[in-house]
Amino acid sequence: YGPVVEGIYLMRVDGTGLTPLVQQEYVTQPAWSPQGSKIAYDGPDGLYVVNADGSGQPELLWPGSVTLSPTWSPNASKIAFEDNWSIQIL
């Protein structure tokens, strides 16, 4: 066991090039957009999207304490997710 590191990180398949995208506690369920340019995830206070290349800041799309299972539409124009036992689509 090692130290707990929370957030979203990218690395090469050989284990090198560890790059932090999101350094925040309680980050779960990351979902890549179909084109690979964005990542949606459940954060500590809602649903967020961040650029997969690390540019820019995470954007809070839907405030709420319990957002789960973000899923992109095939053309990445919408994100479906669960919010307090209801399905939402943005």
pLDDT at 69: 93
Residue with tokens 């820019």: 56
Residue pair 43/7 in contact (Cβ under 8 Å)? The answer is no
Residue with tokens 């995470």: 58
Helix, strand, coil share of the chain (percent; to 5): 0, 50, 50
State yes or no: pLDDT of 9 exceeds 80. yes
Could you give the CA distance from residue 81 to residue 54 in angstroms, rounded to a whole number? Answer: 23
pLDDT at 84: 84
pLDDT digits (tens, 9 = 90+) for 15-64: 999 989 999 888 999 999 999 999 999 998 899 999 999 898 999 999 98
